[in-house]
Structure 1
Amino acid sequence: MLIQRYNVEQQGVGQFDGGKITEQKPIGFPGEGSEVKRVGPLFYWAWAKSEHEGYIPLHPHQGFEIITYVISGKAEHGDSLGTRSIVGPGGLQVMQTGSGVSHEEGFVGPDMQGFQIWFEPHLREALRRKPTYQQFEHEEFQIDVHDGVRVKEILGDDSPVALETDVHMWDIHISHPFIYKQHIGKGRSVSILVLEGRGRINETSYEAKEFFVIEASELEEMNIQAEAKTRLIVIEVPTTVTYPLYRK
């Protein structure tokens, strides 16, 4: 098992609306400072924050499957499909951008936090499909609570969300002290963003705002030992895919 650790300085940064929205980017675009450029079909990951309110004007997308997951505050959305929507804490917006769609975004506080994450399906096939928008509220997701751990499955077998990209995603809260265990399959990669907490992933220490990429060459076990109350966003994808990936 290969574990790679990236501190805040090794991640990218960005901003919108004159700095009203700021972003920490575990996986960014060229020139934004992210050492990680992609993990398999996990193409882009931004942790956005807005103390009060910020706005991103109408702009186009094609092909990619784009999610916005809200931690606190709310995300407003409008698009060329005619959608107008608002999603609150724990909710998810999903755009399968297909042949093309334009959207605008509002990040509304106080203290709004959320993630925008892009997944890459087979783009040649995706461009033939009509774009879609879906929204899911916090209560629609499977949440398991046991032994000091709360696991919310955002993407995967028990999620209401269906994507073309092969991806699983969890929002995990670990009470202190507890060890959370999860298997990583052969040929799979796990990306972890630490929202809060302190502890160890196997033998590697972690702190808040750090980012990890873990590759498994065979079926292996990941052990997360929390030394303080911890919250993690975990995404699992295949390390390689059978279709060509966009040259970033």
Structure 2
Amino acid sequence: MLRIFKKEDQTFGQFNGGEIIENKPIGFPHEAFVLKPFSNLFYWAHAIATKDSTIGLHPHKGFEILTYVLKGKIKHYDTKIEKWVSLKKGDVQLIQSGSGISHSEHLYDKSEIFQIWFDPDLSKSLSKEPQYKDYKEKEFENINGTKTIIGTSSDITIDSDVFMFEYDIKNEFYLELDNNRTHTFYLISGEIEIDKNIVTKDSFFIYSNVDNIKLICSEESILFHISVPNKLNYETYYK
């Protein structure tokens, strides 16, 4: 089954009077959007800085929070490392917030990020020591336009059952999928055709109960893919 959510169908947010604006494929449960958290995928935001802007120190517990830099550069501070760390396009930071951590983020003008929250089973994660780690783009395996961000060839270790990829698509693209998992996609750039549907930039789509898909693009396109289990063996925070 295929579901498509164009940018205008998503929910929106902002920080600091619009200095940072967001479209959210998956918003927080209280936000007015048809798509709610599912599996271990709790939240997904695409944030854009319209000028240099800092989100002040704020707390997190339990969740695993991954930031992927799409454009420009950012810097991060938290109460675990107690210093500012800079990241640029293609870099990843992972906060495993455990028993509690506070952090601050600074986005430079015109920078863009994904921030994605995973629910790793809070009944266990809330008792763990919080952790922070960042990864540079050069650390990720990239074979024929397929970058593995979380997977067997990646150094990222995460408690949540997640696979994460980025694809650089130039023509037709065939993708084998595990039909025991739900596959979520965000089109970062370009335009693609799937199952006779045209998908445009910043659209989000979900495949479930399929084992392969064919994508066709008329221009070079960048596609982001997160795979999560159809069923979990624990109850999530949202449930």
TM-based fold match above 0.5: yes
Provide the residue aligned with 2:75 in structure 1. Answer: 76
Does structure 1 residue 204 correspond to structure 2 residue 197?
yes
- Check conservation: 1:13, 1:32, Cα contact below 8 A: no
1:213–1:57 CA distance, 2 compared to 1 (3 A) = same
Provide the residue aligned with 1:52 in structure 2. Answer: 51
- Which of 151, 166, 170 is the aligned partner of 2:165? 170
- Which of 146, 151, 159 is the aligned partner of 1:156? 151
Q: 1:80 offset after TM fit, Å?
A: 1.1
Q: Look up the SS of the partner of 1:52 in the other structure.
A: coil
The alignment's TM-score, normalised by the length of structure 2, stands at: 0.95
Q: Look up the SS of the partner of 2:159 in the other structure.
A: coil
- Which of 185, 194, 197 is the aligned partner of 1:192? 185
Distance 2:178 2:237 in 1: 25
The alignment's TM-score, normalised by the length of structure 1, stands at: 0.92
Q: 1:179 offset after TM fit, Å?
A: 1.5
Provide the residue aligned with 2:60 in structure 1. Answer: 61
- Name the one with the larger strand percent: 1
Does structure 1 residue 246 correspond to structure 2 residue 216?
no
Unpaired runs of 5+ in structure 1?
A: none
Distance 2:198 2:182 in 1: 19
Provide the residue aligned with 2:101 in structure 1. Answer: 101
Provide the residue aligned with 1:3 in structure 2. Answer: 2
Percent sequence identity over aligned pairs: 34
Q: 1:11 offset after TM fit, Å?
A: 0.5
Unpaired runs of 5+ in structure 2?
A: none
The letter of the residue matching 2:105 is: E
Question: Which deviates further from its counterpart, 183-192 or 201-210?
Answer: 201-210
Provide the residue aligned with 1:126 in structure 2. Answer: 125
Distance 1:188 1:247 in 2: 19
Q: 1:37 offset after TM fit, Å?
A: 1.1
Q: Look up the SS of the partner of 1:9 in the other structure.
A: helix
Provide the residue aligned with 1:92 in structure 2. Answer: 92
Distance 1:182 1:39 in 2: 22
Provide the residue aligned with 1:182 in structure 2. Answer: 175
Q: Look up the SS of the partner of 1:228 in the other structure.
A: coil
- Check conservation: 2:42, 2:238, Cα contact below 8 A: no
Q: 1:172 offset after TM fit, Å?
A: 1.2
Does structure 1 residue 28 correspond to structure 2 residue 23?
no
Distance 2:26 2:222 in 1: 19
The letter of the residue matching 1:199 is: I
- Check conservation: 1:11, 1:33, Cα contact below 8 A: no
